Amino acid sequence: MSLQANKQEPILQVQHLKKYFPVTGQFGRLGGIKGQVKAVNDVSFDIYNGETLGIVGESGCGKSTTGRTILRLMEPTAGKVLYQNQDLVQMSKQELRRTRKDLQMVFQDPYSSLNPRKNVGQILEEPLNIHAIGDKKERRERTLEMLNKVGLGADYYYRYPHEFSGGQRQRLGLARALILNPKVIICDEPVSALDVSIQSQVLNLLEELQDEFDLTYLFITHDISVVRHISDRIGVMYLGKIVEEASTDQLFAEPLHPYTKALFSAVPRPNMDEDKRERIVLKGDIPSPLNPPTGCMFHTRCPFATEVCKNVVPERKEIASGHYVSCHLY
């Protein structure tokens, strides 16, 4: 597990973050805007120095969009993102470029995030060139150091991305994120495209690097077992909202939200008879973010929904110390 979080002051604060995508008519914007896809809809959380916050949920719930919007790879519709009490949303392009040295991202598909026309040395040295860090010799030394840190040697310096396996490419993605010595790394499904045996290697590498460099992770995934292994705290996301947040131990010991319970019930457990395992099967499909339900987003699939769930948006409540849930049942 990663370093014990220093919870005196959050290193990153996300406050009421929203990202809406306009839906246009047949002729684009000339036909007018027909609606909005509410991909991220009022998301708030804090991340503390040295910890890993996991974000988990079904595909299409807005996890990846949240990560990209935090770094302003997508411009947010509303909300604040405070890094060391400075709002990234309000920063100019010049201020944002300087701050991005501290905030890096590891993408889900390592191959598409690596320039196929450049070799490894050029790919890893590019961030150092952009930020004018060191001379040519120092940049090469820094690149070779990072290759060693992620388990690749100097022999890989002149190779191209197509010459690597999926696990090796993801290690290159980690090296590129680390080369500027960042404080926070957003990991967007970094192991979902890898074989199970390679997944464990990359996860162990992430933990080792976190301990060595005092890194803070926002770890985005749909895999419950992965997020349980690597996270200090977990936020459960459904249809653009975080419906429950707690420490990993708290959440797995006593999940509160019906959606969280359904997610966890689908995870196979060793040494448990399948016939005895209580499986919660949700009815219906995930509603469209273009036309989300009124009240609680989950009420159309929730077995415990009442009239108030259909009409009133549940408030975020702290049920136990550090355990938050948005549900009318509590």
* pLDDT (mean) for 154-183: 92
Backbone angles phi, psi at 196, to 5 degrees: -60, -40
- Residue 186, domain CATH: 3.40.50.300
* Cα 77 to Cα 57: distance, rounded to the nearest angstrom: 22
Is residue 263 a contact partner of residue 279, using CB atoms and an 8 Å limit? no
Q: Do the domain assignments include residue 275?
A: yes
Q: Do the domain assignments include residue 107?
A: no
- Distances in Å between the Cα of 52 and the Cα atoms of 1, 187, 200, 278 are 9, 10, 17, 29
Six-digit token string for 85: 């009490």
Work out the pLDDT band at 279, boundaries 50, 70, 90: confident
Residues in the chain: 330
pLDDT of residue 2: 43
Nearest to 216 by CA among 74, 59, 15, 45: 45
Q: Do the domain assignments include residue 128?
A: no
- Looking at beta carbons, which pairs linking 85-91 to residues 24 or more positions away fall under 8 Å? none
Residues facing 105 on adjacent strands: 186
Q: Do the domain assignments include residue 91?
A: yes
Predicted TM-score (pTM) of the model is: 0.89
Q: Do the domain assignments include residue 158?
A: no
Q: Maximum CA pair distance of the chain?
A: 68
Q: Do the domain assignments include residue 27?
A: yes
Residues of the chain with pLDDT > 70: what percent?
92
Question: Which residues span the domain enclosing 246?
Answer: 6-102+182-326
**Residue appearing with tokens 């045996």:** 197
Rg (CA), the chain: 21
What confidence tens digit (pLDDT) does each residue in 61-99 have?
899 999 999 999 999 999 999 998 899 999 999 999 999
* Cα 87 to Cα 96: distance, rounded to the nearest angstrom: 10
Q: Do the domain assignments include residue 22?
A: yes
Number of domains into which the chain is organized: 1
pLDDT of residue 178: 92
pLDDT of residue 60: 86
Q: Do the domain assignments include residue 300?
A: yes
